[in-house]
Amino acid sequence: MAHGSAYSIVIRMHVTPEVHASGAIVTTVTKAGAVITGLDVTDSGHEVTVLDLSALARDPEHAEEIRDSLNTIEGCTVNKISDSVFLIHLGGKIEVGLKVPLRNRTDLARAYTPGVARVCSAIAENPEDARNLTIKRNTVAVVTDGSAVLGLGNIGPEASMPVMEGKAALFKKFANVDAWPICLDTQDVDEIIRTVEIIAPGFGGINLEDISAPRCFEVERELRKRLNIPVFHDDQHGTAVVVLAALINAAKLVNKELANLTIVMSGAGAAGAAVADLLLVAGVKDITLFDSKGAVHSARTNLDPARMDLAQRTNPNDFAGTLQEALVGADVFIGVSQPNLITAQDVSTMAMDSIVFALANPDPEINPIEAAKFAKVVATGRSDYPNQINNVLAFPGIFRGLLDSGAIKITEKVLIASAEAIAQCVSEEALSPVYIVPSVFDPSVAPAVAAAVIHASE
C-alpha cells in the first residue's frame, strides 16, 4: 500500500540533545520507509528534548515498525504515536453555533422567553412561517441505519457516525447548509420511514445515506410520498448525477453522442440502478448491467422486483453472456461494484477511444494505470488518481438549490440540470482525458449546481 494521508502519524519522543543533533532520528525513520513531513521541538531541556515527528506511513503496522526502530536508538524513547485521522475525530467534527447575540437580558428576552412565544403563536397560525422563522429553511437531516457504510458494510449506527458527521461537514463547507447526523438504531423499513416522518418538521430536507439496497428504494419512495420536503438518497442520485456529468464531458472528448454509446455496467444495487436510470433519461439507449450473478436480463428467474424493472428497460439485446464478452466493442464501462473485476486485456477489446469509470472504493474494478493503457478516459472514486467521481460535487449544491427555491420534490429535470451544471464547470480549454470533472474544491461548482436546481424547480 502506498503512503497516504489516511496514515499520517505524529510520533512524540523524548531524546537527548546529542541524539537530536546527530540526525539519527531522520535517518532511522527514512530508512524504515516513512516519509517525514515535519520535525518540531515541543519542549527543550538540557538533558531531554521532546520532539514531535510528523510522517506518512503505509498502515498502522508500519507505524509500529517505525516505533521499534526509533526505540533502538540509544537516548531516544518513543512516548506515543498519534494517528492524525483519529486526532481530528476527537470530540466529533461538527458543532452547533449561535447566529444571534445573547449578551444581556434584552437579547435573552427576544431570543427566548417571553419574546419567543409570539413567534411560536405565529407559526401555529401559519405553519408555512416555520421556513422563515426557524432553522428549517437551511437544515438537512443526514439519515442512516448503518447498513451499508462506505465499503465497510453493515457496521451499525454508532460506527456510522464519523461518516455522517463528515457528510454534515461537507454540507457546511461547500454550500453553507446546516446538516445533522441522524443514526437510527433500526434496520426495519417501516420504523425508518416512520421515524424520519415524525422528525421531519425540524428539517428542510432529508439526505438518506448508506442504507442498503433494496430497502433504500422503499424508504426513499415512501418518504417522498409522505413528506412535503425533498428526500434525496445520495448513494443513488448523487452518484448518478456526477457519473452523468463525467460522461457528458468524456463523450464530448471522444466525439461520441450519449445516445449512440454502448455502455456496460457492473453493479445493479442502489448506485448502479440510479446511474442506469439517469443515463436512460439523459438519452442513452444501450446499457447492459451485471450483478454478482451475471447479466441482468428479462429471462432471469432470480431477479428481485427492482432488478426486473431494470431488466425491462435496459439490455435491449437480451445479452446473457459474461462481463468480459459484453465489453467487446463497448464504448463505456462503468463499475460500481467490487475490486479487480476486469483487466487491461478486457479494456483492449472495447471500442476505439473507450471510457472506463472504475468507481469501486477504495479498490476499483481495474487499476486505473492498467485501464489507461487502452482506454482514452479513465475515472475512479479515489482522490489519488485523475477524474475523481465524488458525490461532493453534487449534493451540497443540489440541497442549496432545493432549500433556496423551497422545492418539495426532486425531479429528473433537477438531476439532469445538476449534472449539466457540473459538466459545464470544466471549460472547453481545460477539458482533457485527465480532467473531465471539476475539483471538489472548485468554489464555482456548488453555486452553479444550486442555480441550475433553482431554475429547474421553477
Tell me the pLDDT tens digit for each residue of 110-152: 999 999 999 999 999 999 999 999 999 999 999 999 999 987 8
Q: Is the dihedral angle over the CA atoms 280, 299, 291, 380 positive or is it negative?
A: negative
Contact 252, 260 (CB under 8 A): no
Q: Which of 168, 171, 201, 196 is nearest to 184 (CA)?
A: 196
Of 225-234, 263-272, 296-305, 325-334, the range with the lowest mean pLDDT is 296-305
Geometric angle at alpha carbon 224, from 292 and 227, rounded to 5°: 150
Higher-pLDDT residue of 458 and 229 is 229
DSSP-based three-state secondary structure for 448: helix
DSSP-based three-state secondary structure for 381: coil
Active site residues: 112, 167
Which pLDDT score, from 0 to 100, does residue 358 have?
97
Instruction: Report pLDDT digits (tens) over 354-412.
Output: 999 999 988 899 999 999 999 999 999 988 889 999 999 999 999 999 999 999 999 99
Whether 2 has a pLDDT exceeding 70, the answer reads no
Whether 1 has a pLDDT exceeding 70, the answer reads no
91 burial class (0-12, 13-18, 19+ CB within 10 angstroms)? exposed
Contact 197, 224 (CB under 8 A): no
Contact 255, 266 (CB under 8 A): no
Cis? peptide before 364, omega within 30° of 0: no
Which pLDDT score, from 0 to 100, does residue 5 have?
53
Question: Cα(first)–Cα(last) distance of the chain, in Å?
Answer: 49
Mean pLDDT for 164-168 is 97
Q: What is the Cα 216 distance to its own chain's centre?
A: 17
Q: What are phi and psi of 37, to 5 degrees?
A: -115, -5
Which CATH architecture group holds 136-229? Answer: 3-Layer(aba) Sandwich (3.40)
Task: Give this prediction's pTM.
Answer: 0.88
Q: Is the dihedral angle over the CA atoms 166, 212, 6, 361 positive or is it negative?
A: negative
* Pairing mode, strands 286-291 and 294-295: antiparallel
* Pairing mode, strands 139-144 and 205-208: parallel
Residue 29 half-sphere exposure, CB side, CA atoms within 13 Å?
A: 24
What is the grid cell recorded at 456? 429547474
Q: For 427, which DSSP code? A: -
Cβ neighbours of residue 354 closer than 8 Å, sequence gap 6 or more: 330, 331, 332, 333, 347, 374, 375, 376, 377
Whether 3 has a pLDDT exceeding 60, the answer reads no
The percent of residues above 70 in pLDDT, for the chain, comes to 99
For 5-89, CATH gives: 3.30.70.260
Alpha helices for 141-232 (secondary structure H): 157-175, 189-199, 215-226
Q: Please, where in the chain does CATH 3.30.70.260 lie?
A: 5-89
Q: What is the Cα 70 distance to its own chain's centre?
A: 38
Looking at the DSSP bridge assignments, the partners of residue 386 are none
Indicate the average pLDDT of the chain.
Answer: 93
Cβ neighbours of residue 323 closer than 8 Å, sequence gap 6 or more: 264, 266, 290, 295, 341, 342, 346
Q: Please, where in the chain does CATH 3.40.50.10380 lie?
A: 136-229
Contact 382, 361 (CB under 8 A): yes
Which pLDDT score, from 0 to 100, does residue 6 have?
59
What is the grid cell recorded at 237? 442520485
Contact 350, 398 (CB under 8 A): no
Instruction: Report pLDDT digits (tens) over 20-34.
Output: 888 899 999 999 999
Q: Please, where in the chain does CATH 3.40.50.720 lie?
A: 236-458
The percent of residues above 90 in pLDDT, for the chain, comes to 84
Whether 204 has a pLDDT exceeding 50, the answer reads yes
The answer as to CATH 2.170.150.20 being correct for domain 236-458 is: no
Of 254-268, 299-313, 350-364, the range with the lowest mean pLDDT is 299-313
**Rounded Cα gap, residues 317 and 345, in angstroms:** 24
Whether 414 has a pLDDT exceeding 80, the answer reads yes
